[in-house]
A and B are shown apart, each in its own frame.
Chain A
Amino acid sequence: MSGSQGMHSPVAQFEIKPLIELSFGGYDLSFTNSSLFMALAVGISAVFLISAMRRAELVPGRMQGLAEMMYEFVAEMVRSNVGHEGRPYFPFIFTLFVFLLFGNMLGLIPYSYTFTSQIVVTFAMAAFVFVGVTLIALFKHGLHFFSFFVPAGAPKVLIPFLIVIEVISYFVRPVSLSVRLFANMLAGHTMLKVFAGLAVMISGAGGLAMAGSVLPFLALIGLTGLEVLVAALQAYVFTILTCMYLNDALHLH
């Protein structure tokens, strides 16, 4: 497109570029820029959380306090949304939150890659949660699970319609869960790129006009702050919705 002009498309940042070519059984399984930042998210979060707790003290320092804060945050989320029965799933929920939080935050560093802006990644995670939660519900409640789709106390005439609605809303869960995160990341990063590109373009005009680039640059600063908030918030939203689905599976309303 406009690459030859030194300007990138605002969506060029989402391009997947292989770093190490790999293929297996006819599939391209290359280690890409996306995989690199996924690995960094796992690696940095693991190194941070392990080293912060290495010399754990009774009165925590800054790093230990931060690690404990993250743990307590997720533990409290699981406790208040799922209850005691949610304990076995805590490590998964915690991994999910840390993975998404570090992925979203790393993506805000200029020239990095935001793997949560990939619909296939968010959908795979949402689908895993959806299938897992449904299996847990079936395993725990057997056929009684299907009563989940019949709202209690509804008039008999309405029940067939309500069941259809409930079933649809249940199967839409993985879609809404994945699209919410994906769309937020896509929108945020595109917007940052647009304003950044605009600032660069105006400054390229030279002379007095360069002063005009201050406006989009200021907007960029504000948007970056907003995106930091969105990055944390969307990690939280994905995690808390997972908790709620898990709660539904364990307690059926």
Chain B
Amino acid sequence: MTCLPVAIAIAVARLTGKGIHMIRLKTCQHAGIMLFGLAAPATARAAGAGLPQLDISTWPSQLFWLVVLFAAGYIIMAKLVTPRIGAVLEERRAKLDDDLGKARAASEDAAQTRAEYEADLDAARSAAAETAKTAAAEAAKKAEASDAKIAKKLADKVAKAEAKLATARSDALANLNDVAAEAAMVAVAQLADIKTTAAQAGKTADKLAAQMARQETN
């Protein structure tokens, strides 16, 4: 691996037919040494050839600017940056907690509302059933009452009609007696040549009729 850059350089030089500048090759070798001598940067070669890090004359300036700039960075981070980001994160956490709390409360409210709604619905359902039952009972009662009234009316009518019929019948029967008496009187006059008055005939007919009625009832 160390020789790889050198090997490539040589191969390239052979292919192109151009000579390799030794100074370039040296650079390459130097690089290889640097690459694999890193664990000991204070090797004689590195120190001698001037690893710039080991040039002590640059240290005061580096330390000075490190102190100044790191301190400036610290002040900026401590006074401006971290409080700001911390506040924003805290605000977000508070907001999230708040929102979660609100959501939980809303969810509980919704559950309670639902329970209330279901209770209401149950109550309404049973009330409706009750109402329907009473309505049905009332309707049945009313229907019964009107039935009774109609029945009574009809019975009255029937009774009246029967009474009328009875009078008509007795009237008819009474007339029948007169007709019978007249017929009997005419028949007696023509057959026996007995002249009877209408009054006599009527009396006899009535007597007969009473006799018949008596027999009928017996």
Contact = CB atoms under 8 A, between A and B. Distances in A.
Interface in A20-50: 22, 27-32, 34-35, 38-39, 41-42, 45-46, 49-50
Interface string B66-104: 110110111011101110111011011001000000000
Interface residues of A, number: 72
B70 A99 contact: yes
Interface stretch (A9-17, A137-145, A228-236, A238-246): A9-17
B13 interface: yes
Interface in A169-198: 182-183, 186-187, 190-191, 193-194, 197-198
B26 interface: yes
- Binding site secondary structure of chain B: helix
B72 A42 contact: yes
B61 interface: yes
Interface of A: 1-2, 5, 7, 9-12, 14-16, 18, 22, 27-32, 34-35, 38-39, 41-42, 45-46, 49-50, 53, 56, 58, 64, 67-68, 71-72, 90-92, 94-95, 98-99, 115, 117-121, 124-125, 182-183, 186-187, 190-191, 193-194, 197-198, 201-202, 205-209, 212, 215-216
Interface of B: 5, 8-9, 11-13, 15-16, 18, 21, 23-24, 26-28, 30-32, 34-35, 38-39, 41, 46, 49-55, 57-67, 69-70, 72-74, 76-78, 80-82, 84-86, 88-89, 91-92, 95
Given A49-B77, A92-B74, A183-B38, 16 more contacts: A7-B27, A28-B61, A35-B62, A42-B70, A45-B73, A46-B80, A50-B80, A53-B81, A72-B89, A91-B74, A94-B81, A99-B73, A120-B59, A190-B31, A198-B28, A201-B9
